[in-house]
Chain A
Amino acid sequence: AQSVTQLGSHVSVSEGALVLLRCNYSSSVPPYLFWYVQYPNQGLQLLLKYTTGATLVKGINGFEAEFKKSETSFHLTKPSAHMSDAAEYFCAVSDGAGRRALTFGSGTRLQVQP
């Protein structure tokens, strides 16, 4: 069984500040990990993914995440927040080569203050 925990349902940062969204996972098999973003009234867009290999992965819009197996974490960061980053962010895990179905965290709403 897999699960995802996102700490902080709401995160507020100032424009230009560091963005840090936390994600911890539980998986009985080597996980594939994902971050998705959902803008208001839209579907989900893939930000980045980790499958194997390099543990620091870079995604779109300046976001990156680091897979830390020892901490079972996959936190999302961005050095400098932009107003357009305001959205809902979801961390998700899949069982890789298995069913491929995604288990989502509860989501974190990012607010960016001017």
Chain B
Amino acid sequence: SAVISQKPSRDICQRGTSLTIQCQVDSQVTMMFWYRQQPGQSLTLIATANQGSEATYESGFVIDKFPISRPNLTFSTLTVSNLSPEDSSIYLCSVGGLVVEQFFGPGTRLTVL
């Protein structure tokens, strides 16, 4: 299984600012995913980030709000832009590819004031 780290682990941000979340994997992976977990809710897929191609966003999520970078096979970033209190959530990255299951990072807990 892959070891995944996320930075920051938590942050408190002001309305209107942006937060960039980093996801680092200890091995090369083809597929990386970003999920959002709103308070008390399940996980919702934001986008799929494959190296060398543009991220694919799910319905209800747009690139202007959630820009993603995937510069290499071990790293990705998710930016949450123009923050509002509704963006307060846990953001998780996961990886997949050669195996069917996904492995998840510890998550980034975002609170927007």
Q: Could you tell me which A residues sit within 8 Å of B by CB distance?
A: 32, 34, 36, 41-46, 49, 51, 90, 94, 96, 99-107
Contact partner of B42 (CB less than 8 A), chosen from A34, A94, A101, A107, is: A107
- Whether the pair A90, B101 counts as a contact (CB closer than 8 A) is no
Q: Interface extent on B, as a size class?
A: 20 to 34
Bitwise, B1-44 to A at CB < 8 A (1) or not (0) is: 10010000000000000000000000000010100000001111
Q: How far is the CA of A94 from the CA of B101 in the complex (A)?
A: 9
Q: Which of B77-113 contact A (CB under 8 A)?
A: 92, 94, 96-97, 100-107, 109
Q: Which 9 A-B pairs have the closest CB atoms?
A: A44-B104, A43-B104, A43-B106, A104-B42, A104-B43, A106-B42, A100-B96, A107-B42, A43-B107
- Whether the pair A46, B103 counts as a contact (CB closer than 8 A) is yes
Q: Which of B4, B105, B107 has the most CB of A within 10 A?
A: B107
Q: How far is the CA of A90 from the CA of B109 in the complex (A)?
A: 19
Q: Could you tell me which B residues sit within 8 Å of A by CB distance?
A: 1, 4, 31, 33, 41-45, 48, 58, 92, 94, 96-97, 100-107, 109
- CB A97 to nearest CB in B, in angstroms, measures 8
- Whether the pair B106, A42 counts as a contact (CB closer than 8 A) is yes
- Whether the pair A94, B100 counts as a contact (CB closer than 8 A) is yes
Chain A residues within an 8 Å CB radius of B45: 101-103
Contact partner of B48 (CB less than 8 A), chosen from A99, A104, A105, is: A99
Chain B residues within an 8 Å CB radius of A42: 106-107
Q: How far is the CA of A103 from the CA of B103 in the complex (A)?
A: 14
Q: Which of A32, A43, A106 has the most CB of B within 10 A?
A: A43
Q: Which of A46, A90, A100, A103 has the most CB of B within 10 A?
A: A100
Q: How far is the CA of A44 from the CA of B41 in the complex (A)?
A: 14
Q: How far is the CA of A99 from the CA of B50 in the complex (A)?
A: 11
Known: A99-B48, A100-B31. A44 touches B42 (CB 8 A): no
Q: Which of A41, A42, A44, A107 has the most CB of B within 10 A?
A: A44
Chain A residues within an 8 Å CB radius of B103: 46
Of all chain A residues, the one with the shortest Cβ separation from B96 is A100
Of all chain A residues, the one with the shortest Cβ separation from B1 is A46
